[in-house]
Structure 1
Amino acid sequence: MKKSFLFLLSLVILFVAGCSSSASSEEGSGEDKDTITIAWLPNESGADLTEARDAIGKVIEEKTGKKVEHQTTTDYIVAIEAVANGNADMAFLGAQGYIEAKNKNDKVEPLVVPTGASGTLEDAVYYSWLAVEKGNIDEYKDGEAFAIDNIQGKKFSFVSNSSTSGFKVPSTGIVEYFSQKDDFKDLTAEDLLEGGDDKFFSEVLYGGSHQGSAVNLLSGKADVAAFCDTCVNNYVELAEGDVNRPGAVYKVKADAAEPFNTVVGKEFQLISVTPVLNAPFVINTENISEELQAQLKEIMTSDEITNNEKVFVPEDSEFSGLFKKTADERLVEVEDKWFDPIRELSK
């Protein structure tokens, strides 16, 4: 009897284990998911971009028959963790955010990335800015050229230490520049994370988003701020100089949405401009089956998305969209190795 009982018990355990394994496999395959959850960084989580997010979601819903839910965030880490741990199936992350998510879970893969005006990856870049208030520009000039020597000792605003253009790229550039000077030859990016009397910066702030970092500058909380062009383009307009060039002056639009509505009319000037690899849409392949992955890739690179004026906004439009349409911009397939230049910044 005892042997029979143990035999039956072992069969039950094997059966339960098999069901559990099957259920786990099905859950990870994405085949039976009725909902696709897309996580967005704080930069793209504002109310002014609701229609743009919904436009992408609507096309995905129509083509897949699945419901799309948008997970907006107020913290970079929340969006990164969401796609890494599977609470989100897709996410729109910066290159650095993608790398951090993949480091947490190798099943996170890039899906597509917006191109440049050529419609290819050759010019798929945006720009990381270091900016100061217009009236203070003389402190950051060496003759007619712009220089960052005097940012040391100032109040500085980053976006988030998980931001590509709002931390990783500018901090690397600052370290490379100042480490050539004897007084700062041992400077590291970690030395820029906090301010203080014995630190490189007197105070370090984090905007939480590119918009927040820009407002830190324009509200007087910071002397210098790092943020990118694409995340503030909906709120500012070129007032002087050339687009994305040191010396260019930008002015906050009269009808700017939050958080720029508190600094309408304020002007800032660029002292440094650095190109950065465009941000990808990524997926968690544990949640999304291969069939659905292929379907999503086809959807995101389709003419329906490319020609959607709420996703790729015409230059003369006042609509707040995700991407500008100046020529042949679209979303194209991208591989992990394309982001290696950003990985190199951490070495």
Structure 2
Amino acid sequence: MLPILLRTLKRLSMLGLLGVAGLASAQPVLKVSAIPDEAPTELQRKFAPLGKYLEKETGMKVEFVPVTDYAAVVESLATGKIDMAWLGGFTYVQSKIRTNGATIPIVQRQEDAAFTSKFITADKTIKSLADLKGRTFTFGSPSSTSGHLMPRHFLLQAGIDPDKDFKTVAYSGAHDATVAFVQAGRADAGVLNASVWDKLVEQKKVDTDKVRVFAVTPPYYDYNWTVRGGLDPALRKKLTEAFLRLDPSNPEQREIMALQRTSKFITTRPENYSGIEAAARGAGLIK
């Protein structure tokens, strides 16, 4: 009788453990990604404390889903493989077009309301945009707002057509890679977003005795956090409020804000990116 009782208790115990495991696996997961505008290790480093904060604020498990290129982020949002993504202004416009307006930008850093790109060179004879004619040049990713679209837009406004006036045009794939291209002499000049440039300078990952900024674009709207179409409005509201509550004076949140390179998140809306969409159509990057 006793062996039978023990076996029964063992089975019940195992069933209990399986039940706990089932509950754990049933925990809702928020899948988050970002455009790969920097090295994958840097993106993971930047997101880690933010992910933990969002887990606390939403009660969900937060999983970072790396992607290979900008197009993959857009497609993942469109197909529901991810729930939220850190996008550039142009990538948001692409996602809006791909989903017929279903994706929703919820917040941006306050700096993103007046973002800029910086033109850099290691060539002492290059002092203005006009000096770029006949030179080799590198953009970031073709889908980058600050590493391609808006710099191209402002070059065209200045009477410089990259496809006709530059000796060669290359695409480094990421902002930090653009700096590496220029510093190594693989391109006479390049352009990247101001925030990454400033960070690389602070971290002494660029030799400023060799590479320098020689021009800066006018400001434009750029990065934002965008959620997929169909995301529960209550969760969207919770995520928005979580970002808006972030405060660098809070010791627990200081690292998050430092890694995101901002002191404040603000709400944003689709209309803020109409200028970027117009620029993309004018440059022939979307039809």
* Common fold: TM-score over 0.5: yes
Give the conservation status (yes or no) of the 8 Å contact 2:178–2:190: yes
Give the aligned residue type for 2:211: F
For residues 87 and 99 of structure 1, the distance between their equivalents in structure 2, rounded to whole angstroms, comes to 19
Corresponding position of 1:301 = 244
Give the aligned residue type for 1:112: V
- Secondary structure of the residue aligned to 1:277 is coil
1:107 aligns with 2:102: yes
Give the conservation status (yes or no) of the 8 Å contact 1:129–1:272: yes
* Unaligned ranges ≥5, structure 2: 1-25, 283-287
Give the conservation status (yes or no) of the 8 Å contact 1:115–1:278: no
1:202 aligns with 2:155: no
Q: TM-score, normalised by structure 2?
A: 0.80
Give the conservation status (yes or no) of the 8 Å contact 1:74–1:208: no
Give the conservation status (yes or no) of the 8 Å contact 2:201–2:208: no
1:212 aligns with 2:177: yes
Corresponding position of 1:97 = 91
For residues 337 and 306 of structure 1, the distance between their equivalents in structure 2, rounded to whole angstroms, comes to 31
Report which of the two has the higher share of strand.
1
> Which of 219, 222, 230 is the matching residue for 1:278?
222
1:305 deviates by 7.5
Give the aligned residue type for 2:228: N
Change (3 A) 1:303 1:228: closer
1:234 deviates by 2.5
- Secondary structure of the residue aligned to 2:67 is coil
1:266 deviates by 5.7
Give the aligned residue type for 2:272: W
Corresponding position of 1:127 = 116
Change (3 A) 1:323 1:306: farther
- Secondary structure of the residue aligned to 2:186 is coil
1:68 deviates by 0.8
Give the conservation status (yes or no) of the 8 Å contact 1:83–1:90: yes
For residues 129 and 268 of structure 2, the distance between their equivalents in structure 1, rounded to whole angstroms, comes to 34
1:332 deviates by 1.6
1:265 deviates by 6.5
| Aligned 1:216-295 pairs, distance under 5 A | 216-237=181-202, 253=204, 256=205, 267-274=210-217, 275-286=219-230, 288-295=231-238
Q: TM-score, normalised by structure 1?
A: 0.67
For residues 51 and 210 of structure 1, the distance between their equivalents in structure 2, rounded to whole angstroms, comes to 16
| Aligned 1:6-85 pairs, distance under 5 A | 34-44=28-38, 46-85=40-79
Give the aligned residue type for 2:233: E
Give the conservation status (yes or no) of the 8 Å contact 1:56–1:305: no
1:33 deviates by 7.9
Corresponding position of 1:21 = none
Give the aligned residue type for 2:126: Y
1:284 deviates by 0.2
Change (3 A) 1:85 1:278: same
Report which of the two has the higher share of helix.
2
For residues 155 and 200 of structure 2, the distance between their equivalents in structure 1, rounded to whole angstroms, comes to 27
In terms of mean alpha carbon deviation, does 274-283 or 94-103 score higher? 274-283
Give the conservation status (yes or no) of the 8 Å contact 2:140–2:148: yes
Corresponding position of 2:157 = 176
1:49 deviates by 4.5
1:50 deviates by 3.0
1:165 deviates by 1.1
- Secondary structure of the residue aligned to 1:42 is coil
For residues 59 and 254 of structure 2, the distance between their equivalents in structure 1, rounded to whole angstroms, comes to 23
Change (3 A) 1:44 1:69: farther
For residues 78 and 306 of structure 1, the distance between their equivalents in structure 2, rounded to whole angstroms, comes to 36
> Which of 143, 156, 159 is the matching residue for 2:140?
159
> Which of 120, 126, 129 is the matching residue for 1:140?
126
Change (3 A) 1:265 1:114: closer
Change (3 A) 1:92 1:109: same
1:200 deviates by 2.7
Identity of aligned residues (%): 24
1:73 deviates by 3.1
1:45 deviates by 5.1
Two-structure CA RMSD over aligned residues (Å): 2.3
For these two proteins, the number of residue pairs brought into alignment is 252
